[in-house]
Amino acid sequence: MKITDIKATTVTVPLEAPLRHANGCHWGRFVRTIVEVETDEGITGLGEMGGGGESAESVFRAMKTYLVGRDPSRIEEMRFLIANPSGSLYNNRTQILAALEFACLDILGQKWNVPVYEILGGKLQDKVPFASYLFFRYPNPKDGSGEVRTIEQLVEHAKDLKQRYGFTSHKLKGGVFAPEYELECYRAVARELDGDSFRFDPNAVWSTEQAIWFGQQIEDIKNDYLEDPVFGLNGMRRTREKVRMPLATNTVVVGFEQLAANVLNTAVDVILLDTTFWGGIRQCVKAAGVCETFQIGVAVHSSGELGIQLATMLHLGAVIPNLSFAADAHYHQLVDDIIEGGKFKYENGAIKVPTTPGLGIKLNREKLQKYSELYKRLGSYPYDQDPLRKGWTPTIPNNRWADPQDARTPEIAF
């Protein structure tokens, strides 16, 4: 079998409401690039990458020079061909490689008539548990719904998500407001949903002292972990000395070099594996093996997925024996998807691993067209800018927090 073509389409899919984070905001939608790898046997594989636009599409087009005419089963060779570690200074294509790896695994599963998890060693579980991902949210600019700013709104939002999807673990994305206010928010959710477990992620904008203070204030809560309270392995190591709970990261251990550094001089207890940031599902399986060897915790990170990427997270979650926590997904914040059959369904806080050949999902062409047109109309958005605080950026450690009394609605086209 040979690869004959690679196509990339940028789409934008609306969220229930704009999601606020430490560096800015998701402006009411996700922008993703959908990749299709075609073969001479009529089998097409699907991939997905965050972000998009002409530059992302042209990078995938440029990969045709490397990959057309090659056998899609030679995935390890593809890694060296387009993301050679010795050439990463000039050609760091980790995320490109990931999207193409997803597509090649999807092709091979269809060709061999097996789900991707069979290629990866076979599934150990039929469904993957997920955490509710709680964000502070601006109101939906169209109808004013969905705001999460006050403690009451946050608690209501958490209860609603638990009721709708059955989550028993809850992650609060912080780093928006001052840590004292976010501590009240986190404690209120933990109090209301007593018996569940919780995790907090301020996206590394605190000082080490703030991180230690916050960590010590929540030691009585049933925490899964405290995620990226500060930036850098050394700050994490200092925090870890004084806080009695696991620390997790998706920012400072995102490759094997950093994983090795963390093994040699431990700063982080739980590695959040991301099928995109690590360069594919197989790279994550390899990393999970290293973590198993050194008894480091593993969970699945979410970089803001549509159904294709979610399928990669499900296949990953199905095959790693040491997945010790519920996975993260932004997925429940989306209002739609580009796959056939509509969005994946949550049952009791978990999603079933697809069992049909390949990744187990098919593109809904109508939806692809619809959200590609929406992208053309709306374009990209600056992820690291807050629509109500234009020109603002957090210094690290941050001392210019948003104001929880500010009830304005941003004017965003979406």
Q: Annotated active-site positions, please?
A: 173, 301
Binding Mg ion (rule: CB under 5 A), the pick from 250, 262, 302, 312 is 250
Q: Give me the least distance between CB of 201 and Mg ion, in Å please.
A: 4
Task: Tell me whether residue 32 or residue 330 sits nearer to Mg ion (CB atom).
Answer: 330
Task: Tell me whether residue 107 or residue 299 sits nearer to Mg ion (CB atom).
Answer: 299
Choose the binding region for Mg ion from 63-71, 246-254, 255-263, 388-396 (rule: CB under 5 A): 246-254
Quick check: 196 binds Mg ion (CB under 5 A)? no
Q: Give me the least distance between CB of 268 and Mg ion, in Å please.
A: 12
Q: Give me the least distance between CB of 227 and Mg ion, in Å please.
A: 5
At 26, list the tokens.
Answer: 């998701």
Quick check: 201 binds Mg ion (CB under 5 A)? yes
φ and ψ of 23, to 5 deg: -105, -10
Q: Give me the least distance between CB of 171 and Mg ion, in Å please.
A: 9
Residue count, binding to Mg ion (CB under 5 A): 3
Task: Tell me whether residue 9 or residue 197 sits nearer to Mg ion (CB atom).
Answer: 197
Edge-first strand listing for the sheet containing 29-39? 3-14, 29-39, 44-50
Q: In sequence order, what are the residues at sequence separation of 6 or more whose Cβ sits closer than 8 angstroms to the Cβ of residue 214?
A: 179, 182, 183, 200, 202, 206, 226, 229
Choose the binding region for Mg ion from 32-40, 87-95, 250-258, 262-270 (rule: CB under 5 A): 250-258
| Cβ atoms of residues 343 and 334 within 8 Å | yes
Q: Which of 8, 17, 15 is nearest to 52 (CA)?
A: 8
| Cβ atoms of residues 250 and 275 within 8 Å | no
Choose the binding region for Mg ion from 27-35, 40-48, 243-251, 359-367 (rule: CB under 5 A): 243-251
Quick check: 364 binds Mg ion (CB under 5 A)? no
Task: Tell me whether residue 197 or residue 250 sits nearer to Mg ion (CB atom).
Answer: 250
Per CB under 5 A, which of residues 118..147 are in contact with Mg ion? none
Q: Give me the least distance between CB of 193 and Mg ion, in Å please.
A: 21
Cα dist. 252→99, 139, 344 in Å? 22, 32, 30
Distance CA 204, CA 190 (A): 21
Choose the binding region for Mg ion from 7-15, 44-52, 84-92, 193-201 (rule: CB under 5 A): 193-201
Write the DSSP assignment of 166-219 as a string of letters: --SEEEEE-SSS-HHHHHHHHHHHHHHTBTBEEEEE-TT-S-HHHHHHHHHHTT
SS3 89: coil
At 401, list the tokens.
Answer: 């927090």
Q: Give me the least distance between CB of 86 and Mg ion, in Å please.
A: 29
At 243, list the tokens.
Answer: 């806080």
Quick check: 328 binds Mg ion (CB under 5 A)? no
Task: Tell me whether residue 63 or residue 131 sits nearer to Mg ion (CB atom).
Answer: 131
Quick check: 303 binds Mg ion (CB under 5 A)? no
Binding site for Mg ion (CB under 5 A): 201, 227, 250
